[in-house]
Structure 1
């Protein structure tokens, strides 16, 4: 599938667990000052590692704060859980955060990353129906239809076409949703699988009558070595994400990959 050649970008997920909000805020401001392209959090109610009942903060209220506290960096959740909020409310929240982040006459900087949800403890403790993986994906499909329809009628409208990021690699439902709705496709698949998944996406795009030439392919750096990240780049990945845990944020790793980004973009 031919993809539009775009610069490499680095997104850093500041995991909102086992830290104070002041530490989160300081980390995001450091990322912005250093030149990271996107700051992400995640949409959960409990930690995903360490003490399962440790300190943790909610995603969307935090994103509203980031919208006001930052000036340049794009931001969003990696990713929002569709199950936790009414679809039309999600659209309105996204539009509002988009406006909050618009500074100096520029458009907003919010990225609407979303997925169908998976962390059962969140569902059980907060009273949401867990359902099945299939039912949650069906709910996401219906929600995306409503979200896009709501964006079309909100007053005021979003400051820009809010970029939609959809995470996942399932070929029967998730990738069809990517082909139908997403500007960014995020996954954790290995380099050789990226090519295969892009072929599946192209098949769905033809059925959805959508041109995917402007789709941004995103993948996780994680603990990968440079050769595997280079292979992801060769496969078409242009947004690379990195997760950080506090309070001892590993900014040296961020510096390494931002330098790699800059070298790629200068080539």
Structure 2
């Protein structure tokens, strides 16, 4: 059971929509009381028409920093392969200031091969991309410490994924938030592995917030089981062209009922 407050996130997937629709959905979600608004870091839609409308992640986060006043913002997640780590740190610091300290730095090793092929990045192997992320995270941290002006706060790092040998070791060493893509049974097992990596790193696993996507079903039925397992951040994913926030409202209502 988590002792953290329950938070609700929204992943506004920047695909198949005009930007005006994205802007409206951001405003509506903040007005509804969501805690975090995420986008994602891809160059093409992940489902639907593979060549449909799509917008870039970090320029959008800069716009959200100015558009919003209360919610935290970030990518779920930013792809480490697409930007030099020092540059990514500087971008994160800049959006942190633009938002008055509301950025979450979500990061992962990347996986969507079309992005790599079309934009000229070397795809390599899954293991190689994870190794590169492990090398780059300390570079990001080091650059954040040297930037002038410094970030307004310690920018929370969110790492997504459940790889037991590499990803969860990085979570233990670097993350403030771990986002799991797994079902409840797997989530519980992965937490045991994460705890072992935290012990190796000399870190209390309770320092790391547990984040999950929202499963299908009534939040009153599925939410408590995940809370009992330790989850405290629940994120609803919504794609364009029309951003239907019905499911988000159900999860917000459940949070308010607690």
TM-score normalised by L of structure 1: 0.94
For the 8 Å contact 2:2–2:228, the answer to whether it is kept is no
1:201 matches 2:199? no
Q: Deviation of residue 225 (structure 1)?
A: 4.3
For the 8 Å contact 2:2–2:227, the answer to whether it is kept is no
Aligned-partner Cα distance in 1 for 2:178–2:145: 22
Counterparts of residues 106-117 of structure 1 (less than 5 Å): 108-117=101-110
Counterparts of residues 237-248 of structure 1 (less than 5 Å): 237-248=231-242
1:98 matches 2:100? no
Aligned residues: 257
State the 4+ residue runs in structure 1 displaced beyond 4 angstroms. none
- DSSP-derived class of the 1:95 partner: helix
Provide, for residues 194-246 of structure 1, a one-character-per-residue CA deviation record: whole Å limited to 9, x for no partner: 22111111111111112222211000114244333321111000000110122
Aligned-partner Cα distance in 2 for 1:240–1:126: 32
Aligned-partner Cα distance in 2 for 1:222–1:73: 23
Q: Deviation of residue 159 (structure 1)?
A: 0.2
Counterpart residue number, 2:70: 72
For the 8 Å contact 1:191–1:228, the answer to whether it is kept is no
1:179 matches 2:189? no
TM-score normalised by L of structure 2: 0.97
Q: Give 5+ residue unaligned stretches, structure 2.
A: none
- DSSP-derived class of the 1:234 partner: helix
Q: Deviation of residue 34 (structure 1)?
A: 0.9
- DSSP-derived class of the 2:117 partner: helix
Aligned-partner Cα distance in 1 for 2:52–2:8: 28
Counterparts of residues 117-266 of structure 1 (less than 5 Å): 117-226=110-219, 227-264=221-258
Provide, for residues 145-187 of structure 1, a one-character-per-residue CA deviation record: whole Å limited to 9, x for no partner: 1000111111110000000000000100000000000000001
Aligned-partner Cα distance in 1 for 2:226–2:74: 23
Counterpart residue number, 1:31: 29
Aligned-partner Cα distance in 2 for 1:154–1:174: 27
- DSSP-derived class of the 1:46 partner: coil
